[in-house]
Structures are given as structure tokens and as C-alpha cells.
Amino acid sequence: MKQDIEKIIEIPEGVEVSVDGTAINVKGKEGEVKRTFRIKGINFEKGEKELRLISKKATKQEKKMMNTITAHIKNMIKGVEEKFEYKLKICTSHFPITVDLKENEAIIKNFLGEKIPRKVRIPKGVEVDIGKEEIIVKSINKELAGQTAANFEKATRVRSRDRRIFQDGIFIINKSGKEI
């Protein structure tokens, strides 16, 4: 059954949201995030302290898309207020791993005694702090921060060896304040 659906997103103090057709631009104290949503049947309207997503005669699919878009916009607002932070731990049991940062790339040396270093590309807009046993990834965009953390984990995946014995690698231990 088709029905009219309206979602309301509250805009907190210190955050500025602008709507240009299907493009949403969010500014805050940490920076600015812009994203374009290309979905038919969903309109954006900006009020004084709220953003409305409106769909006339919405189907189940449009309702699902509205919930997804609402979650994305809330993450954008949360990101410009306070950066998303992922913590990773460098674990070694056989060979000492060294991680270096060069421009937009992290280089993982001596992983499982390999001579050729492994590389992780770091996208623009992501800050990476490398310590002795911990890596901290920060960004105002949750998806970029999460993908960068996943790239570190994927680069040090152990293949062709017994996972119970070779427990070396870089692992995510904290996602945006949530322990794993």
C-alpha cells in the first residue's frame, strides 16, 4: 500500500546544512562533507533547525531508501561535529612489523618476513597516526575512515599458512568508540 512518508532530521547548534536539489552539504567545526543522493521520488526540504525527507505515495523500496539516506545524513552531521575514529592494533608474534607513512600511502615492512613491503592507499580527507603498536584513523566521513581501517586489515591478511599459529597482522580494535 502506497502512503505519504516524511522523515525529520534535527540539525544541532553549530552545524549548517544546505540543500541543492539532491545534493546535501553539511558544514561544522571539523570540516565540510558533501554528498549527492540520486533517488527518484524523494524530496529534500530544509527548515530552520530541521531537514525533511518527503515522499508522496512511497513504496516499500522508497521507505527503505529514506531510512538509509536518513542514516547517511545523521552520520554526516555527527562527523562534522566530531571526527570518526578507528583504532587498529599491530600484532606480531614471529617478525617485527614496521609501518611507515609516506604522503598518501602507508608501507608495511617485514610482514611475516617478506622482503617486498605491502602498501595501503590512504584516501584524501583521512588522517592516520601511526604509533609503535597502534594505528589511529580519523576522518569526518565515516565511510572513508572505515574503508581505510579495512584496507589496513586486508593488507595484512595471512594466506597459505595456519591462522592459529601465524597470528600476525593489523586488526581493528575500536570502531568510533565501540570496542570490538
Domain positions in the chain: 3-81, 84-179
From 3.90.930.12, 3.30.365.10, 3.40.50.150, 3.30.2130.30, which CATH number describes the 3-81 domain? 3.90.930.12
Of residues 127, 26, 142, the one with CA closest to residue 75? 142
Q: Report pLDDT for 144.
A: 95
pLDDT tier at 88, thresholds 50, 70, 90: very high
pLDDT at 146 over 70: yes
Q: Which residues contact 168 (CB under 8 A, 6 or more apart)?
A: 91, 92, 93, 94, 95, 97, 111, 112, 156, 158
pLDDT number for residue 1: 66
Average pLDDT over residues 41-49: 89
Report the half-sphere exposure of 41 (CA within 13 A, side-chain side). 16
What's the confidence (pLDDT) of residue 57?
86
- The C-alpha atoms of residue 32 and residue 121 are separated, in whole angstroms, by 22
Above 90 in pLDDT, residue 130?
yes
Q: Identify the CATH number of the domain defined by range 84-179.
A: 3.90.930.12
Average pLDDT over residues 45-64: 89
pLDDT at 91 over 70: yes
The reply to whether domains 3-81 and 84-179 share a CATH topology is: yes
Residue 56 in this model has a pLDDT that exceeds 80:
yes
